[in-house]
Amino acid sequence: MSGLLDITNLRIDLGQARTPVSPVGPLDLTLDVGECLGIVGESGSGKSLTLKAILDVLPEGLVRGAGTLRVMEQGKWVEPAAKDLRGRKIGLISQEPGAALDPLMRVGDLIGEIVRLHSGCSRAESKTRAIDLLRQVGVPDPEKRATFWPHELSGGLKQRIVISMALACKSEILLCDEPTTALDVTIQAQIVDLLRDLQKQHGLGIIFVTHDLALIRQIADRICIMYAGLIVETGPSAEIFKAPQHPYTRALLAALPDIEASSGNLQPIEGTPPNPTDFSVGCRFAARCALATEACRAARPLLEKTERGTMVACFHAGVAP
Amino acid sequence: MTRAAEHSHALAPAPRRKQRRPLTPKLKAGLCILGIYVLMGVFGPMLLPFDPDKSDILSRLQAPSAQHWLGTDQLGRDFLIRLLFAIRIDLPVAFAASFVPMIIGTALGAIAGYYGRLTDTIVSRAADLVQAFPVYVFLLVLVFAMGSGATSFIIAASAIAWVGYARLTRGEVLRLREMEFVAAARVTGLPESRILLTHVLPNALPQTVIYFMSDVVMMVLVLSSLSFLGVGIQPPTAEWGRMIAEGQPFLRSHWWLAAAPGLMVMVFGIGLSMIGDGLDEWYQK
Amino acid sequence: MNAWLKVENLSVDFPVGGTRRAPVLLRALRSVSLEVPKGTVFGVVGESGCGKSTLARVLSGLTAPTGGEVSLEGVPLGMHRSSIQRRRVQMVFQDPGSSLNPAMTVRTMLSQLLRFHQIVPKDRIEDRCRELMTQVNMPTDALDRKPGNLSGGQRQRIAIARALALEPEILIADEPTAALDVSVQASVLNLLQGLIRDLGMTMIFISHDMAVVRRICDHVAVMYLGRIVEIGKTEHVFTDPRHPYTNALMAAVPRLNPVPAGEYQMLKAEQPSPLANISGCAFRGRCPKAGSICATQNPDLAGKNQLVACHFPKGGTDA
């Protein structure tokens, strides 16, 4: 597979802290053409911030402290400014699709405008292209829906419109930030299906951020498990779910109710994740980890390759708990 | 699963920080100003060997000297002690003229917002009625009808100022009424009156207190204006607005006679505004 | 099932517009009937707008039904209840961030209830507050905290403690873990399960999360657009869903072990508006099995143990 996006040493810093505080990173991410990378973690793990850092749309008070971001452009790695990526090479699908839709424009005009901006075609042509795009993302009765206002659409349809806008931008990379969290489970399944189709048909690279392990299992080819701003385990999705190596990954799976099982204990994870201001020099999971030793508290384990083709940041990787 | 296997959840150290939030700089500065005024008002006049109301025509309009630090006014009274004595009038009257309507307005607004229907209609219409009159005209009429003086000023101000508190509280209560913790309190079977008093109102009060601070500033200005016009506090009692009016004829030769009380009003206003702003920041932290 | 808590033909309409003479009605519940045996956990699943939260609010006395009745041991439970009746049914809300009064410490909140309902003598209130904290696995110094100084999971424990303070017989849990992280969710679910067992309470568990419902509920009702479409023992409903909607829900749930293709059927369209007046079966627009009878006649719940409201249930009814 060929590369599409390559991020190294990405770090997000707290703006005006006296001592440097980095809620996220340093971390590396790569994405191939036609690949879906899943980033999974609990609230506060920094998974959404990572996406925002890629597009340089971090909330007030946070800055991208370090890191290089390269994208593949006609066979060559280039390092463009984030503003040249937004709405062009990279599209963003957020949890709240309503926020991405101008409430004062009809759906068809919204998409048509983007089509015109990117291809310079005529108004009439852009209209038919917009309807085409709506059909592509599975909007039923696209001619009629094109004349709707955003508020007249359900959450699922709005999310489809946002996806079609990314397609209109000819984005090659879709950043999905919990795109289905606000949707019902039957609609979520439809959107996930749609994303998979687009990934296959257009060779889209998708980074899919969610807190839902089962969902990430369904959609991602490769996953990163994030904890307290760092990637603790990454690798092919099937491998990680078959034999998770990091104690945190295992704990997450033990805490997750599975639709297939009606009994057995759910194991909660004791304690809470540390605050960025309280990050220690050691492993950030040590305080909640049953395997933690002095070594874990003294130094932070880095991601290392395992024989299964995954990477794990743990001194006790693979040790049965 | 055994219960013993379940862990007791230690409280996160993170939110432990400080149970009492530190005051913001603005709040500190504002409180300082208010504190200084109170101290000056209580102790200042005791330190000066003059009678603020006793005139001495022979020593009128003296320039500042070692004996009279700010000189004397047109009736030969020590100007500094009058300036300080006025604190004892302006502050309590302004606070009272804001506090009474706060109680009335908050109560009416809370009832109107929480129970709605007829109570809301009555309170809202009454508020509209009061607001339909120009404030100063209404005040002047009321004070004129009741006769000048601190008490009638407080009554007149209350008759008008409750509207602001009522509108503010009604809005807050309308918002809070729909919150889930109110529904939760209903499920536990608490009577509506207790829910309003213990669950809804405490959450509306921060806004009220902030408003109160700006209202006190407003009341000092209104009181001074009325006294300036001659219908507020009556002579010979020292009051800033009255003093500005009395100093006016001597602006050319003795400018401080009008400027100093003006400055007192201004600094006091700034101090209270800072408390209001500071409280706002502090609550939102 | 022996009737203990009984819901009969419960309907709730909300006027959402129109005129006073001809209001537009949102029909949140349409003639819902169910029975909950004492000491069991009864699950209600469905997607947003199916009426499950409205059901919770009617049961807890927050919303008045337009028609039908809720009764406990034969005594009707309306919106106006005596304080003794109130105590019998308590509720845990979805978001503990908004269901707890931000201006009140935990101790003030709990002691207010203990005092008002005279649950313990005055000199025992402090002890009882401490006991409640222990029951929900919280340290006693949490009593001095306000909700703002507690984490999401801790807040939900406090909300559970508030419900327990009244020593209820029925606990209604409306998506109690939907706002929590999965690691915290597990501890809150374990806590609820333990409490139900130890205190012999009955729980109505409202959720959109099929996996959670499967884990903790004895019986389950699947709702769609204000109606129950399937109801029965959780094990039966989840392993052998008969209604096409239950089937589709099962298909849509993401799972760690992918299921073989063809076992469940995905849904194509979206749920119609609850404002729309649909003739016949409300699900027919999305149903892969819909026939002509579905357009004219609304199917009734039928069956003996696993009731299903469908003209063409998978494997027929069990009656």
Residues A42-76 as b/e (b if ≥16 CB within 10 A, e otherwise) read bebbbbbbbbbbbbeebeeebebbebebbbbeeee
Where residue C273 falls among pLDDT bands split at 50, 70, 90?
confident
Is C85 near chain A, with CB under 8 Å?
Answer: no
3-state secondary structure of C26: strand
Is A287 near chain C, with CB under 8 Å?
Answer: no
Cis before B235? omega within 30: no
Where residue B85 falls among pLDDT bands split at 50, 70, 90?
confident
Min distance A261 CA to chain B CA atoms (Å) = 16
Burial class (CB in 10 A: 0-12, 13-18, 19+), C19: exposed
Contact partners for chain A, using 3 or more CB pairs closer than 8 A, are B, C
Residue of B nearest to A273 (CA): B12
Contact partners for chain C, using 3 or more CB pairs closer than 8 A, are A, B
Q: pLDDT by residue for chain A (321 residues), tens digit each?
A: 578 899 999 999 887 767 778 889 789 999 999 999 999 998 889 999 999 988 888 888 888 888 888 888 888 888 888 777 887 888 888 888 888 888 898 999 989 988 888 888 888 888 888 998 999 888 888 888 889 998 888 888 899 999 998 888 888 899 999 998 888 888 898 899 899 989 988 889 999 999 999 999 989 999 999 999 999 999 999 999 988 999 999 999 989 888 887 777 788 888 888 888 888 889 999 988 888 889 899 889 999 888 888 999 999 887 765
A299, part of any domain: yes
C70, part of any domain: no
CA distance A198 to A219: 12
Burial class (CB in 10 A: 0-12, 13-18, 19+), C119: middle
Q: Are C163 and C90 in contact (CB under 8 A)?
A: yes
3-state secondary structure of C123: helix
Cβ separation A257–C211 shorter than 8 A: yes
Dump the DSSP string for B143-167.
HHHH-SSHHHHHHHHHHHHHHHHHH
pLDDT of B125 above 90: yes
Residue of B nearest to C172 (CA): B187
DSSP 8-state secondary structure symbol assigned to residue C121: -
A301, part of any domain: yes
The mean of the pLDDT values for chain B is 85
How distant is the alpha carbon of residue C135 from its chain centre? 23
Structural domains for chain B = 24-45+72-284 (1.10.3720.10)
Is C187 near chain B, with CB under 8 Å?
Answer: yes
Cβ separation C101–B199 shorter than 8 A: yes
pLDDT value, residue B4:
35
pLDDT of C138 above 80: yes
C310, part of any domain: no
Is A152 near chain C, with CB under 8 Å?
Answer: no
Q: Are B75 and B122 in contact (CB under 8 A)?
A: no
Is B7 near chain A, with CB under 8 Å?
Answer: yes
Cβ separation B14–A275 shorter than 8 A: yes
pLDDT value, residue B15:
44
pLDDT value, residue C168:
95
Query: pLDDT tens, A103-139?
Result: 898 999 989 988 888 888 888 888 888 998 999 888 8
Place of tokens 């795109």: A179
Cβ separation A259–C211 shorter than 8 A: yes
Residue of A nearest to C211 (CA): A259
Q: Are A225 and A232 in contact (CB under 8 A)?
A: yes
3-state secondary structure of A311: strand
pLDDT of C192 above 90: yes
C28, part of any domain: no
Determine the residue type at C44: V
pLDDT value, residue A64:
85
C207, part of any domain: yes
Cβ separation A272–B1 shorter than 8 A: no
Its domain, for residue A298, covers: 243-321
Is B122 near chain C, with CB under 8 Å?
Answer: no
Give the closest of C181, C253, C257 to A185, CB-based. Answer: C253
A77-86, A90-99, B163-172, B257-266: which is most confident: B163-172
Nearest to C38 by CA among C189, C216, C200: C200
C306, part of any domain: no
Where residue B135 falls among pLDDT bands split at 50, 70, 90?
confident
Is C276 near chain A, with CB under 8 Å?
Answer: no
Contacting C residues, span 51-70, partner chain B, CB-CB under 8 Å = 57, 60-62
CB under 8 Å, gap of 24 or more: what pairs does A186-189 form?
A186/C47, A186/C248, A186/C249, A186/C252, A186/C266, A186/C267, A186/C271, A187/A154, A187/A155, A187/A156, A187/C47, A187/C270, A188/A215, A188/C252, A188/C254, A189/C251, A189/C252, A189/C254, A189/C266, A189/C267
Nearest to C71 by CA among C12, C170, C5: C5
Is B1 near chain A, with CB under 8 Å?
Answer: yes
CA distance A189 to B113: 44
pLDDT value, residue A320:
64
Where residue C79 falls among pLDDT bands split at 50, 70, 90?
confident
A318, part of any domain: yes
Q: Are B74 and B61 in contact (CB under 8 A)?
A: yes
Dump the DSSP string for A93-133.
E-S-GGGGS-TTS-HHHHHHHHHHHHH---HHHHHHHHHHH
Is A148 near chain C, with CB under 8 Å?
Answer: no
C263, part of any domain: no
Min distance A150 CA to chain B CA atoms (Å) = 27
Residue of B nearest to C187 (CA): B6
Backbone angles phi, psi at C225, to 5 degrees: 45, 50
Q: Which residues of C touch A269 (CB under 8 A)?
A: 183-184, 186
Percentage with pLDDT > 70 across chain C? 96
Place of tokens 């099982």: A261
Q: Which residues of C touch B199 (CB under 8 A)?
A: 101, 103-104
Q: Which residues of A touch B7 (CB under 8 A)?
A: 268, 270
Give the closest of A43, A188, A261 to C252, CB-based. Answer: A188
DSSP 8-state secondary structure symbol assigned to residue B51: -
Query: pLDDT tens, C229-242?
Result: 999 999 999 999 99
Domains in chain C, number: 1
Where residue C263 falls among pLDDT bands split at 50, 70, 90?
low
Q: Specify the pTM.
A: 0.86
Q: Are C306 and C231 in contact (CB under 8 A)?
A: yes
C307, part of any domain: no
Its domain, for residue C128, covers: 40-62+81-239
pLDDT value, residue C144:
92
Nearest to C96 by CA among C52, C162, C44: C162
Min distance B132 CA to chain A CA atoms (Å) = 37
Domains in chain A, number: 1
Query: pLDDT tens, C141-178?
Result: 999 999 988 888 999 999 999 999 999 999 999 999 98
CA distance A168 to A170: 5
The mean of the pLDDT values for chain C is 89
pLDDT value, residue B1:
35
Q: Which residues of B touch C60 (CB under 8 A)?
A: 187
A–C CB contacts, 8 A cutoff, strictly below = 119
pLDDT value, residue C194:
93
Where residue B161 falls among pLDDT bands split at 50, 70, 90?
very high
Nearest to A157 by CA among A146, A168, A167: A146
Cβ separation A185–C190 shorter than 8 A: no
Min distance B86 CA to chain C CA atoms (Å) = 38
Is A181 near chain C, with CB under 8 Å?
Answer: no
pLDDT value, residue C2:
52
Residue of C210 and B66 predicted with greater confidence: C210
Cβ separation C93–B180 shorter than 8 A: yes
- Mean pLDDT, residues C49-59: 92
Where residue B33 falls among pLDDT bands split at 50, 70, 90?
very high
CA distance B37 to B28: 14
pLDDT of C14 above 80: yes
pLDDT value, residue C262:
61
Q: Are B177 and B113 in contact (CB under 8 A)?
A: yes
Residue of A nearest to B8 (CA): A270
C199, part of any domain: yes
